[in-house]
Amino acid sequence: MISTHPFCDLSGDTLREECGVFGVIGTPDAAAVTALGLHALQHRGQEAAGIVSFDGAEFYAHRGLGHVAENFSSRETLAGLPGFMANGHVRYSTTGGAGLRNVQPLFADLASGGFSVAHNGNISNAAALRAELVARGSIFQSTSDTEVIIHLVATSRYPTPVDRLIDALRMIEGAFSLVVMTKDHMIACRDPLGIRPLVMGRLGEATVFASESVAFDVVGGSFEREVEPGELIVVDANGERQSLRPFQRQRPRPCIFEHVYFSRPDSVFAGRSVYEARRAIGAQLALEAPVDADLVVPVPDSGVPAAIGYAQSSGIPFELGIVRSHYVGRTFIQPSESARHSGVRRKHNANRALVAGKRIVLIDDSIVRGTTSLKIVEMMRDAGATEIHFRVASPPTAHSCYYGVDTPERSKLLAAQMQLEPMRAFIKADSLAFVSLDGLYRAVSGLPREPGAPRFCDACFSGDYPTTLTDLARQTQGDAQLSLPVGQAA
C-alpha cells in the first residue's frame, strides 16, 4: 500500500547533525588516529570526510565525498598525511550545500602561516559577515559558513594567530565547536552557550579533541573532560595546554537533542551517559502516556534505549518487532516510483511472526515530516498488528534549527502544521503521544525546565532560540514574528 499526501516525501524525514570533528596533537601517526576517530563519529556526517595534517614544516590534506572508509582506508592515503598533528571532519551538507569545495577541514595559507579549521555548528550571521568581507575585497573559495571564520582571522589586526581567532569568534553568532591547527598550536574552542558538543581526552602523551567521547574509546584514548562553553584550549607541540576564557560568560544551553538522538548511546554528553538518558526518557514517556498493550517495539536503532525504558517502567515486554538492515547503502538506484516508496521496507522489516495479532507500542526518537512514521505504521499493520500505539521520545519538533542541524524548513515539519489528533490520523496510529518538554528535562537532568532560564537549547521544540538570528531576520525582514525579542518563539 502506497500512501499519497503532501507530506509524503521520504527524503529529509530525519533530523541530521551537520558534522563531527576530531583532532590530535603529539603522536607520530596523527592522521591514522584521526581517521579512526572519524570512524567513530561517522553517524554525525556521512556525505564527506577530510583530514589535514602537519609535520612541523608542511601541511598536507586529503578530502573526499563519501564515508571515512571510502577515503582513508588505504596505506597510501595515510602515508600522504604525515605529521604529529591532524584535524579531521565528517559532514552533512546544510549550510553551503554539497560539493568537494565545502568539505572540511578548510585550509588557507595566511600571513602567519597555515590555518586549518574543522567546524561543527552553524554561524547564524554568516551571510551578513560574508557580504561585508566581500565588499572589502575578500574572495571566497567555498559556500560554507566556516570560511567566514578564515577570512575574519586573515583580516584581523591582532598580532598572534590565537588572538586573531578570538577576534574573529567575537564577531560571529550561533553555534561553533572548532578544532583549529596553526603551525605552532592546536586550538579547540566551543561557543559561549556550548550548543554543540566538544570533549578533550588523552592518548598516551597526546591530547585529543572530538565531538563525542566515544571517539576516544575507539582510538584507545581516555576521556578527560568537556571543553567548557566559551573555553578556548591551546596546545603546543610540547603538549603544554593553556585554557583561555575570552568571551563573556553566559548560562550554557547545550543542545538537548544530543541526548535524544544525535550522540551515540555509548557517549557521555553534558555529564550524563547518553544511553542512560534515553532509557530514562522512555521511562518518563511510560509514566506520561501509558497504554494497554502486548509488546513494546522500538524503531531501530535510535528508538531502542527509550523502548527499553518504556518496557521496564510499564511492565510490557520489550521485543524486536522490527528488524533493521545495516546494509542499505547511502545511495540507492531506484528504478521506479514504487521502488522509491519502498525505502522504509529496505531499511526496516516487520518481524511478522512476533507482531501478528498483537497490540504494540511503537517507540521512536522523533517525528519530523511524519512520512517514515506513516510507512512504519502501515508496515506493522500489514504484518498483522491489531493495534499500534505510537510513542515518541521527544516533544513535537515544530521549529527549525539554525545551529548546525539539518532540519526541514518549518512548513515541512508535521508538528508545525498539525495538532496531535491530526498527526495521529496522518500516521494512521491508534494513538499518538510525545514526551512532554518538562518530562524530557526531568529525564535527562533530574530537574524540570525552568521557564525563562532553560538549561538546554530546546528551540526545535519550544521556539526559544538562545541567540539572535541575524541572517534569518534579514531574509524575512518585515515579518512581524521576527520582531519578537530573542528568547521568544519566532
Which of 8, 19, 255, 460 is flagged as catalytic? 19
Strands of the 48-54 sheet, one edge to the other: 59-65, 48-54, 85-91, 19-25, 206-210, 199-203, 222-226
Amino acid of residue 214 = V
Q: pLDDT tens, position by position, for the chain (490 residues)?
A: 333 333 333 345 666 556 999 999 999 999 999 999 999 999 999 999 999 999 999 999 999 999 999 999 999 999 999 999 999 999 976 455 567 899 999 999 999 999 999 999 999 999 999 999 999 999 999 999 999 999 999 999 999 999 999 999 999 999 999 999 999 999 999 999 999 999 999 999 999 999 999 999 999 999 999 999 999 999 999 999 999 999 999 999 999 999 999 999 999 999 899 999 999 999 999 999 999 999 999 999 889 999 999 999 999 999 999 998 776 554 333 334 344 445 566 678 999 999 999 999 999 999 999 999 999 999 999 999 999 999 999 999 999 999 988 777 888 899 999 999 999 999 999 999 999 999 999 999 999 999 888 999 999 999 999 999 999 999 887 554 433 344 433 3
> Is 159 in a helix, a strand, or coil?
coil
Residue-range domains of the chain with CATH: 16-252 (3.60.20.10), 278-325+342-456 (3.40.50.2020)
DSSP string, 430-485: SEEEE--HHHHHHHHHSS---TT--SSB-HHHH---SS--HHHHHHTTT-GGGGSP
Asked about 255 being catalytic, the answer comes back as no
C-alpha to C-alpha distance for 162 and 178, rounded to whole angstroms: 13
Find the length of the chain.
490
Burial class (CB in 10 A: 0-12, 13-18, 19+), 325: exposed
How wide is the angle at C-alpha 480 spanned by C-alphas 476 and 486, nearest 5°? 85
**pTM score:** 0.90
